[in-house]
Structure 1
Amino acid sequence: MSAPVQTRLAWLDALRGVTIVLMVAGHVARGLWAAGRIDSPEYLLWDMALYAFHGPMLFVLGGFTFAYSTTTSPYLANWRARLRRLIHPYVVWTVIAAGLTLAMARVVNQPLGTSQFLRTVLGMVIWPYSIFWFLYVFAMCQIAAALLRERIGLGSGQLLAASVLGLGIGYVLRARFGPIEAFQVSMFLLYFFYFCWGNWLSTRTHGLTLPVLGITAIVSLLCWYAIIGHGWSIDTPFGAIAGLSMTTMFLAIFRMGESRAPRILMAPAVYIGLISLEVYVMHHMAAGITRIALDRMGLETLWVYGVVGLIAGVLGPVVMLLIFRRLGLAGVLGLAKSPSRPRPPSSAPSVALR
């Protein structure tokens, strides 16, 4: 099997950017649901579909990035620096988010008391707080893939097979004991499968063609028919297959559509994809503070909450990142210190959400 070509792929960055925006939309909507502002039963179907897509998609893209970034420089050869890229923002922003939640306990949906704040900070090694489980599990996926590939010598196909076995074990454990939250065992066994799928696809992007798009669209529809028709949750094998099909379908759409996409849409999507980690760690606070501000203003229109919250959740982190860079604080906060260089349309996948 040939090694991944070391050229950037702008369509991967754009897809990551679009996925991050959808993730922000999902978190904004869940915040409104928790606050009692959304009461439509149909929302739950939309929420289920969105979460079956954006989480798996980010890990699939992470598998792509891992494959490209370790072609010439094995992960374990520089594992401390690579791990620090995720652990640094994980620790810093866990403390910041928990601290803000403690300080704003009277107005947030899920307040923290002083003792809960201390448990959150001291227990982050075992129990990630809030949305930061993603960075925790992402780091676990990188370490596991590196050990299996670079120490044991598994190829991408064998690595994918191992992840399928882990996925099955995860479903058995969940059925027997429920979700295992300590060390995010259940989440790791699920999302490592998507990570390995992306790693496997990284050398097979030529196969993301129109027939694949059609097949994955049909499989996705069949899975959703089964899930909705039987009242199942996405935490079932059908949910995993739906996630696999939807992510592959969007990979095919973006790969085939890159040359046709208007630059006015492609450029911002690529930019958000390049700073996806920064948007991820800050969006929750930006959108949450915006919702609280709108509450204080007495606004009642749901769409205003949704639209303004989405804009704040995406652009807020962009503005804050620029400010932190200007103040020289980006590195201290675990964020990228300088803007990414402009790149031609067919560039190398970014190591955003490294």
Structure 2
Amino acid sequence: MGDTAHTRIGWLDSLRGVAILLVVLLHAGEALRVAVGPTAGVDEVNLFLEPFRMPVLMFLSGILLPQSVAKPGGQYFAGKVSMVAWPYLLWSVIILAASGDIRPVSVLQIFYLSPTYLWYLWFILVFYALAYPLRRVPPLAVAAVGLGVSLLLPDGSRPETMAFLSAFFFFGAWCAQHPGRVERAILHPWVLVVATGSAVAVGLLNVFDHEVLYRAEYVWGVVGGLAVVCWVFPRLGTNRATSALEFVGRYSIVFYVAHLGPIMITLALADALGIAGAWFMLPALLLAGVGVPLGLAWVYSIREHASVNLLFELPALKRRPREPARRTRRART
């Protein structure tokens, strides 16, 4: 899906970056809606995109699965504990403490219910745990089972959501194993037309209060959305905008765990000043929700501050390399 290795990797990071920024937009819009009421246009945009955000993130995580499960078991699980389980546990505790709900029962729920907005990481951990023993099973078959199981579970339940999203995780793994087949399929103009129409239909159904979110009956529209973005993003090329999105995508864990606190603090300060309903509040919330994680991600990327690194990984289990640009600057000095 591209002419160079950088392009092939870069567009995945760019797409992940967009998906994470849309999560920030969702939470900024929801916080503002709870505080002052509906915001014209923002709620509709969030509703239209709602069926696609998390499936896209699951799909992108699944794309990396084949190269992960090729590692020895010890290395595989150490990496997942370091880079996913550790930040999930740490930030779950931080969020519970910040919300004043650090009771033993709440802490215990981190392990089996995910009582905060970090449920995506909890799902990913479950999928990774299943993926290694199932590594010799065709991922498309696992995806089909996940989708089928979701049909049998209560609508709107956490198990149904998990089963539905597992289908996109393992579908991403299958696509990574068959990139040529996927590329040939989405290159057909009629496929893109049908995919675009399907995605728009599901998005509009969600806007108009039809129950489509994480429902297997509407998987066709979500897959259509995936086909569209998988055609668009490899063709964006490399420029300042895509480079910025790639950075967000590479450090998506930072943006995901650290965006809501700054949003809520900014909104609380605005409410105390009586300006929560001002026209500039949504941009201000987005600036806080993106700006604070961006600063943390930059500090994390240069690998020079152990205390910041510890917020997002457990270095004793897995060490990540410094950013290439940083190494280049050092070589010149």
- Measure, in 2, the Cα distance between the counterparts of 1:173 and 1:94: 27
Q: Tell me whether 294-303 or 140-149 shows the greater mean CA deviation.
A: 294-303
> TM-score of the superposition, structure 1-length normalised?
0.78
User: Residue 58 of structure 2 contacts residue 168 of structure 2 at CA under 8 Å; is this kept in 1?
Assistant: yes
Question: Is residue 124 of structure 1 aligned with residue 100 of structure 2?
Answer: no
Distance change in 2, residues 1:134/1:206 (3 Å): same
**What's 2:82 paired with?**
84
Q: Secondary structure of 1:122's partner?
A: helix
Deviation at 1:241, TM superposition (A): 2.6
User: Residue 202 of structure 2 contacts residue 212 of structure 2 at CA under 8 Å; is this kept in 1?
Assistant: no
Distance change in 2, residues 1:118/1:303 (3 Å): farther
User: Residue 217 of structure 1 contacts residue 246 of structure 1 at CA under 8 Å; is this kept in 2?
Assistant: yes
Aligned partner of 2:248 among 268, 272, 275 = 272
User: Residue 62 of structure 1 contacts residue 198 of structure 1 at CA under 8 Å; is this kept in 2?
Assistant: yes
**Cα deviation 1:213-269 (Å, max 9, x = unaligned):** 3231022234446666783342433443322221221111102x233x5x1211101
Question: Is residue 315 of structure 1 aligned with residue 291 of structure 2?
Answer: yes
Aligned partner of 1:252 among 217, 231, 250 = 231
Question: Is residue 171 of structure 1 aligned with residue 154 of structure 2?
Answer: no
Q: Secondary structure of 1:147's partner?
A: coil
**What's 2:329 paired with?**
none
**What's 2:198 paired with?**
219
Long gaps (5+) in structure 2: 314-318, 327-333
Give the residue type in structure 2 aligned to 1:16: R
- Measure, in 2, the Cα distance between the counterparts of 1:265 and 1:210: 28
User: Residue 11 of structure 2 contacts residue 246 of structure 2 at CA under 8 Å; is this kept in 1?
Assistant: yes
Deviation at 1:82, TM superposition (A): 2.4
User: Residue 321 of structure 1 contacts residue 330 of structure 1 at CA under 8 Å; is this kept in 2?
Assistant: no
Q: Secondary structure of 1:148's partner?
A: coil
Give the residue type in structure 2 aligned to 1:188: M
**What's 2:92 paired with?**
94
| Aligned pairs for 1:35-54 within 5 A | 35-38=35-38, 45-54=44-53
**What's 1:57 paired with?**
56
Q: Give the aligned CA root-mean-square deviation in angstroms.
A: 2.8
Question: Is residue 297 of structure 1 aligned with residue 273 of structure 2?
Answer: yes
User: Residue 48 of structure 1 contacts residue 234 of structure 1 at CA under 8 Å; is this kept in 2?
Assistant: no
Give the residue type in structure 1 aligned to 2:115: Y
Question: Is residue 234 of structure 1 aligned with residue 213 of structure 2?
Answer: yes
| Aligned pairs for 1:117-156 within 5 A | 117-149=103-135, 153-155=136-138
**What's 2:173 paired with?**
199
Deviation at 1:69, TM superposition (A): 3.6
**What's 1:328 paired with?**
306
Give the residue type in structure 2 aligned to 1:306: L
User: Residue 35 of structure 2 contacts residue 276 of structure 2 at CA under 8 Å; is this kept in 1?
Assistant: no
- Measure, in 2, the Cα distance between the counterparts of 1:76 and 1:96: 28
**What's 1:284 paired with?**
260
Q: Secondary structure of 2:308's partner?
A: coil
User: Residue 86 of structure 1 contacts residue 139 of structure 1 at CA under 8 Å; is this kept in 2?
Assistant: yes
Distance change in 2, residues 1:170/1:333 (3 Å): same
Q: Secondary structure of 1:154's partner?
A: coil
Q: Secondary structure of 2:111's partner?
A: coil
Give the residue type in structure 2 aligned to 1:309: L
User: Residue 253 of structure 2 contacts residue 312 of structure 2 at CA under 8 Å; is this kept in 1?
Assistant: no
Give the residue type in structure 2 aligned to 1:84: S
- Measure, in 2, the Cα distance between the counterparts of 1:190 and 1:312: 32
**Cα deviation 1:3-62 (Å, max 9, x = unaligned):** xx987511111111111111110111111222243266x765433322211111100100
Percent identity (aligned):
21
- Measure, in 2, the Cα distance between the counterparts of 1:242 and 1:267: 29
Equivalenced residues, count: 310
